[in-house]
Amino acid sequence: MAGSRIADFAKKVQAGDIIIAGANFGCGSSREQAPLALKDAGVGLIIAISFARIFRRNAINIGLPVLQADLVNKVGDGDSVTADIRTAKVRLLTGETIMGAVPGDNVIAILAAGGLIARVRRQLAMKGA
């Protein structure tokens, strides 16, 4: 089923869309181009049961929010969900709230800055470097 959506993904994705995925999302993508392509396509958040470690880190580094939570059997294509990345609360269209894994403060700070490079630049500017 998941493969059937890939062919027309680029045509259908809209700014702010949320990808709901299964386990080990991003497996096999060791370069930052994979999350960068999703971010550039307009994806605003990826919620998955789990992430490939390198994909997750690259996504955070470029400022693409990722949240670990299991929504696979709770939503369908086109369903609306809202998520608060800081608290890891995901609200489904039904009103049900699902708790994900709360990201650490460092991850939140990187995402708030727009990515790792932006965060480091801010830190350096504050130090007067």
Average pLDDT over residues 25-39: 90
| Beta carbons within 8 Å of 72's beta carbon, 6+ residues apart | 20, 21, 22, 49
Q: How many CA atoms lie within 13 A of 16 on its CB side?
A: 4
Q: Which domains does the chain have, with CATH numbers?
A: 2-127 (3.20.19.10)
At residue 31, the pLDDT reads 85
pLDDT tens-digit profile of 70-96?
999 999 888 999 999 999 999 998 899
CB atoms within 10 A of CB 6: 8
pLDDT at 124 over 80: yes
**Residues β-bridged to residue 22:** none
Banded model confidence at residue 5, pLDDT cuts 50, 70, 90: low
At residue 127, the pLDDT reads 86
**Residues β-bridged to residue 18:** 45
